[in-house]
Amino acid sequence: MTTSEPGDAKRPTRRSSNPTVHDVALEAGVSPMTVSRVLSGGKNVRLEVQERVARAVETLGYHRNENARSLRPGHRSGLVGVTITNIANPYYAEMLRGVEEIASAHGRRILVGNSNEDADLEKQLVADFIGRRVEGLIVVPSSAGDAAHLQLERLGGVPVVLASRAVGGVSADTVLIDDVEGARTATAALLAEGHRRVAYLGQRSVFTGRRRLEGFTVAHEALELTPDEELIRVGQQDVGSAERAMTELLDLADPPTAVFSANNRNTVGAIRAIVARRRATAGTGAGGGGDDIRVAGFDSFDFADIAPVRLSIVDHDAGDLGRRAAAMLFDRLDGGAQPVEPRVLELPVTLRDLF
Amino acid sequence: MTTSEPGDAKRPTRRSSNPTVHDVALEAGVSPMTVSRVLSGGKNVRLEVQERVARAVETLGYHRNENARSLRPGHRSGLVGVTITNIANPYYAEMLRGVEEIASAHGRRILVGNSNEDADLEKQLVADFIGRRVEGLIVVPSSAGDAAHLQLERLGGVPVVLASRAVGGVSADTVLIDDVEGARTATAALLAEGHRRVAYLGQRSVFTGRRRLEGFTVAHEALELTPDEELIRVGQQDVGSAERAMTELLDLADPPTAVFSANNRNTVGAIRAIVARRRATAGTGAGGGGDDIRVAGFDSFDFADIAPVRLSIVDHDAGDLGRRAAAMLFDRLDGGAQPVEPRVLELPVTLRDLF
DNA sequence: CTGTTAGCGCGTTCAG
DNA sequence: CTGAACGCGCTAACAG
C-alpha cells in the first residue's frame, strides 16, 4: 500500500481533477454527508453551516458529479437519446428542437446522434446510448438495413419512440405525419383542376416516400385513373438530381402538365427546372414544356410563397412532431401506470395554396 | 471456492434492473474481472472463455455502464456539450452536424442544449454539462446577458470553443466567420455599381450583426461616404418583421436603390417586400419603389438562385464552422502538448452573384 | 491465464 | 442536527 506519504492523507489533495464532496467538506470543515445534504436542499442542516458549504462550493467551483449520482440505485440518468438520419436537414432540426424543448421541460438532457440513414450506425448509437443509461430513446429510423436492434427486448426495456417513420416488425410508440392523406389531397387537387398527366417526384425506398406515393396513387384510383409509370421518378435525394429528373420529364414527348413532389428538395428542384426551361424558351414562342406547369409539394421551404409557379404545399409542423414524440416518451417515463401496448399517432397535415 | 451460498446471496438477483458485469460473470461461470477483460479486447483470456462470456453478454442483453466506467480515475466521459442559441435555425443545424461528425470520428457523443439566446439558460446548460463531466464544450454564446460563466476558471478547466460569435471578456478558442469582410465586400459591390442609397437590414445587438454593420460602414467610408441612418434598420428577427422593415424603406420619400441584408431571414423578407411592391404597382406605370432594387445578403437559402431580383450572396459553410470548432476542441483534448493561449480562427467567405 | 482487493463520487441507512 | 459505513458498476494493480 504505500504511496506512503510522510504526512499521509487518505486523499492526496488532487488539484488538477474536479473537486468532490470530500474536498468541499474539507473546505467547509464538515463531513461529506453534510455537504450532500446541503446540495439536495439543506433539510436538517443549520443555516450557518449551509452558508459555509455554499461558500466552499463557490470557492472550489464544485459541480456535483451526475454520473456518480446516477449510479446510486433508484436514481435516473436524466438523459434521453435521439438518433436522426440527418441533423442538417432543417426538417429534423426543427423536430430536434421540439424534442429538446419537451425534454428540457422534463428536466432531461438529450444525447444526439446522426445515423446518416445507416442501420449499423444507428445500432451503434443506440447501444452506446443504452450504455450511458439513457432513460428513453427517440429514433428517426434509418431507411436502409435491419432494425432488429430497435426491438424493445433488445433495448433492455428502455422505451423508444419512433418518429416520422415506422419500422416493419418493430412494435413501439410511433409518431407519424399523415403522409398518405397529404399526398392524396394534394394530388386530388391537381386532378380536380383537370390535369391528367401528373408527375411524381420523390422516393420509394423510404417509409414516407412509399406512403406519399401511395397517396398519389390512391388519388388517381379514386377517379378511376392510373398514373403513368413514365411520370414517376424516384430516388432524387437532393435539389440537383431533382432538377435533372424534372428536366427529363419536361423533355418527354408527352410531358406532364402538373407535378406532385414528395418533399421540399424535390419541389425546389422541380421549380428550378421549370424556371430554367421557361427562360430558355422565352423568346421562341415555342412554349415547350416549362410554362404554366402546376406544382404541389410536401413540406414548405423559405421562398414557397413567392415561387414563380402556381404552387400548393402540404404543410405540417416538424416541431410538433418532435414535441409529440417526446411527450409520448415522458408519458411512459414520468406518467403513472401506462398501457403496455404501443400507441401510434398520426399527425394531420393541411394543404395550402400559395397563389 | 465458495460460491458460498446455501441461502444468502450477496446480490439478490435483480431481474428488472440492467445486468452488470457480475450477472454476466455468473452466467458465464467466471469472475467479473474476466468479463471486464473480455469486454476491453480479451487480452490474456482463453478463447473459449471469451466465447462463453460473449454468449452470456448476448443472452442477458448486457450493455457496459459507461457512467460507472467514467467514474474510474483516468477514464474520460466521452461526452462533449454543445449549446446553441437556436437548434431549429438551419444554419446552426448544419453547424451541429459538422460538430457531430468530428465528435463521432473522435469517439465522442454530443449533449445538445438550446439556450434560446438566454444567458441564464446557457449558464444552467453549461453547469449541467460539467456536472455530467463533459470533456469539452462548444458554445454559440447567447447575445443577451452576462457571460462570466464561460470563463475558463469557472469551467473547472473544461476547454470551451466559442463558435460563430466571440464574447467580450472571455478569452477562449473561437471560430468565427469573416463577418466584417463579407459585409464590406458585398456592400462595396453595390456601391461600385453606383448605388448611393444602400439600406442595411440586420441586427445590432448580436455579435455578428455588429460586425456586419461594421463592414457595411467600412465599405462606405472607403469611398468617403456616410451611410444614411434612416436606411439602417436593425432588430428584425424573422422574415415577417424584415418584410415590414423593407416595406417601410420602400415607402420613404427617398427610398434606397439597393439593400444589404445581414442574414437570410432579412434577405427573404426584403425580397418578399420588393416582390409585393412590384405586384402592387404593376399596371400603374408608377414604378414606385419595388422595381429593380438590387439586393446583397449574408447566408444563402433554398431559392436564392431563382429569386426574382438581382441578388448577390455572401456564402459560407456552416458545416465547416462546426467541423473547425470541433477540431479545435479535440486538438486540445487529444492533441499532445497544446499552446495555452486561446486561438481565434476567422473563416473566409465568398461573394457570389446570382444573376 | 484468472481471481481478489480496493476505491472512483455519491447518498441511503443507521448511530450518535 | 451531524457523521460513519456501505455499496452502486466498473477496472487498475496485484497476487496466484
- The domain spans of chain B are 1-64, 79-177+319-349, 179-315
> What does the pLDDT average to over A188-197?
97
Query: Which residue, chain included where needed, has cell 460569435?
Result: B165
Q: Do domains A79-177+319-349 and A179-315 have the same CATH topology?
A: yes
The SS3 assignment for A330 reads helix
Helices B90-105/B318-333 angle, 10° precision: 30
Asked if the model's pLDDT at residue A94 lies above 60, the reply is yes
Strand B109-114, strand B136-139: pairing:
unpaired
**Quick check: B46 CB within 7 A of strand C?**
yes
Contacts of A194 (CB under 8 A, 6+ apart): none
> What does the pLDDT average to over A118-129?
95
> What does the pLDDT average to over B134-141?
96
Burial of residue B305, with CB atoms counted within 10 A of its CB: 0-12 exposed, 13-18 middle, 19 or more buried: middle
Query: In the prediction, which pLDDT does B13 show?
Result: 44
Which uninterrupted H or E stretch holds A51?
helix A47-60
Asked if the model's pLDDT at residue A9 lies above 50, the reply is no
C-alpha distance from residue A45 to each of A40, A41, B281 (Å): 11, 9, 75
Q: How confident is the model at residue A223 (pLDDT cuts 50, 70, 90)?
A: very high
- Best B14, B58, B66 member to test A by mutation, with max A CBs in 10 Å, is B66
**Quick check: A338 CB within 7 A of strand D?**
no
Query: In the prediction, which pLDDT does A4 show?
Result: 33
Measured between beta carbons, the chain B residues lying within 8 angstroms of A112 are 96, 100, 109-112
Q: Which three cell numbers stand for residue B272?
A: 418578399
Asked if the model's pLDDT at residue A3 lies above 60, the reply is no
Q: Of A19-28, A74-83, B130-139, which gets the smallest average pLDDT?
A: A19-28
Q: How far is the CA of B31 from the C1' of C3 (A)?
A: 7
Per-window interface: B 307-346 vs A, CB < 8 A? 307-308, 319
Q: What is the DSSP string of A204-252?
A: SSSHHHHHHHHHHHHHHHHTT----GGGEEE---SHHHHHHHHHHHHTS
Strand A198-202, strand A232-234: pairing:
parallel
What architecture is domain A79-177+319-349?
A: 3-Layer(aba) Sandwich (3.40)
CB pairs under 8 A between A and B: 155
pLDDT digit string, tens, across residues B64-91: 999 999 988 888 999 999 999 999 988 8
Q: How confident is the model at residue A80 (pLDDT cuts 50, 70, 90)?
A: very high
User: Higher pLDDT residue, B282 or A135?
Assistant: A135
Single-letter amino acid, residue B136: G
Cβ separation B114–A104 shorter than 8 A: yes
Whole-prediction pTM value?
A: 0.89
User: Higher pLDDT residue, B345 or B10?
Assistant: B345
Asked if the model's pLDDT at residue B1 lies above 80, the reply is no
- Helical ranges in chain B per DSSP H: 21-28, 32-39, 47-60, 66-69, 90-105, 119-131, 179-192, 207-222, 239-250, 264-280, 318-333
Assess contact for A322 and A82: CB atoms under 8 A. no
Measured between beta carbons, the chain A residues lying within 8 angstroms of B136 are none
Asked if the model's pLDDT at residue A231 lies above 90, the reply is yes
Query: In the prediction, which pLDDT does B118 show?
Result: 93
CATH topology of domain A179-315: Rossmann fold (3.40.50)
- Best A24, A39, A62, A66 member to test B by mutation, with max B CBs in 10 Å, is A66
> What does the pLDDT average to over A64-93?
92
C-alpha distance from residue B169 to each of B147, B151, B172 (Å): 8, 8, 10
Of B67, B100, B268, the CB nearest to A70: B67
Main-chain phi, psi angles of A45, to 5 degrees: -135, 135
Distance CA B36, CA B52 (A): 13
- Best A14, A60, A65, A301 member to test B by mutation, with max B CBs in 10 Å, is A65
**Quick check: A157 CB within 7 A of strand D?**
no
Assess contact for B162 and B174: CB atoms under 8 A. yes
Q: How confident is the model at residue B195 (pLDDT cuts 50, 70, 90)?
A: very high
Q: What percent of chain B has pLDDT over 90?
A: 67
**Quick check: B49 CB within 7 A of strand C?**
yes
Handedness of CA B2, B4, B5, B11 (dihedral sign): negative
The SS3 assignment for B64 reads coil
Query: In the prediction, which pLDDT does B307 show?
Result: 82
Which uninterrupted H or E stretch holds A321?
helix A318-333
Query: In the prediction, which pLDDT does B336 show?
Result: 66
Q: How confident is the model at residue A8 (pLDDT cuts 50, 70, 90)?
A: very low
CATH topology of domain A1-64: 434 Repressor (Amino-terminal Domain) (1.10.260)
**Quick check: A32 CB within 7 A of strand C?**
yes
pLDDT digit string, tens, across residues B153-172: 778 889 999 999 998 888 89
Query: In the prediction, which pLDDT does A118 show?
Result: 93
| Mean pLDDT (chain A, rounded) | 88
Contacts of B328 (CB under 8 A, 6+ apart): B161, B173, B175, B343, B345
Handedness of CA B264, B267, B273, B278 (dihedral sign): negative
A306 contact B CB<8A:
yes
Single-letter amino acid, residue A221: E
